[in-house]
């Protein structure tokens, strides 16, 4: 499996296609039975789409064969090559006021939350700002008396150190994640990949190819 979802109840291995179910997304609305004529039409449309896809692939392959391909652009970058480490973590009992000050001091936006050294949640700056009021300078003016445990995201999608960062970027983009913790085989946190880490790598040399 490529990704793991951690929560206070434990962990669960999933593939990208299973993330919607793992994150307890509301089930789809019931669909009415499809009539035979509709099935035939869908089949024909699927055939046409498949033919067009093959034609497009053939055209793309021909175009690429006529170009002077730079193989360095097809380099595959792994999570461990760009992740931030060591990871700053917090205890679930920390107040969100202290967590905010901690983030400001460390210049970070995401804090994995631990209980008995096990990942149980993720507290991001957005979690805290929804419970706070800032003044014109950006300093805390008012904040609720709550703990990290009360505001944290309780289902944390993670992955392993050898994951292709293009797959990480895809999942982060599709689900709106600001980061993905990187876990070891023993379920300890090795690092964390943020949007900033990915942007820095994409902008670096040698350039990162968008396709393998």
Q: Does residue 164 have a pLDDT over 50?
A: yes
What does the pLDDT read at residue 30? 40
CATH code assigned at 106: 3.10.580.10
User: Is 193 within the bounds of a domain?
Assistant: yes
Structural domain includes residue 97: yes
- Whether the ω angle into residue 206 lies within 30 degrees of 0, i.e. cis, is yes
Flag whether 175 is in a domain: yes
DSSP state letters, 49-92? HHHHHHHHHHHHHHHHHTS---GGGG---BHHHH-B-SPP-EET
DSSP strand E in the chain: where? 3-7, 10-14, 90-91, 110-115, 118-124, 132-134, 140-143, 156-160, 179-183, 189-194
The pTM of this model reads 0.67
Is 86 within a domain?
yes
| Each residue's pLDDT tens digit, 79-138 | 999 999 999 999 999 999 999 999 999 999 999 999 998 999 999 999 999 999 888 877
| Domain of residue 154, residue span | 3-24+75-202
pLDDT digits (tens, 9 = 90+) for 47-80: 666 666 666 666 656 555 555 544 445 577 899 9
* Residue 28's pLDDT band (cuts 50, 70, 90): very low
Do the domain assignments include residue 167?
yes
**Structural domain count of the chain:** 1
pLDDT at 25: 43
């Amino acid at each position: 499996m490529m990704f793991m979802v951690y929560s206070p109840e434990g962990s669960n291995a999933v593939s990208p296609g299973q993330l919607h179910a793992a994150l307890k997304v509301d089930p789809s609305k019931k669909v009415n039975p499809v009539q035979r004529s509709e099935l035939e039409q869908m089949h024909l449309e699927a055939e046409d789409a498949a033919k067009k896809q093959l034609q497009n692939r053939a055209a793309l392959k021909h175009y690429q064969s006529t170009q002077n391909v730079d193989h360095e652009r097809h380099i595959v970058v792994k999570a461990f090559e760009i992740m931030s480490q060591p990871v700053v973590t917090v205890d679930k009992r920390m107040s969100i006021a202290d967590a905010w000050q901690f983030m400001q001091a460390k210049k970070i936006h995401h804090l994995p939350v631990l209980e008995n050294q096990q990942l149980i949640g993720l507290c991001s700056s957005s979690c805290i700002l929804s419970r706070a009021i800032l003044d014109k300078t950006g300093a805390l003016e008012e904040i609720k008396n709550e703990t990290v445990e009360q505001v944290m995201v309780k289902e944390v999608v993670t992955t392993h150190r050898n994951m292709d960062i293009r797959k990480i970027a895809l999942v982060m983009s599709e689900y709106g994640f600001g980061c993905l913790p990187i876990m070891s085989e023993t379920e300890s946190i090795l690092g964390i990949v943020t949007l900033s880490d990915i942007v820095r790598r994409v902008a670096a040399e040698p350039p990162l190819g968008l396709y393998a």
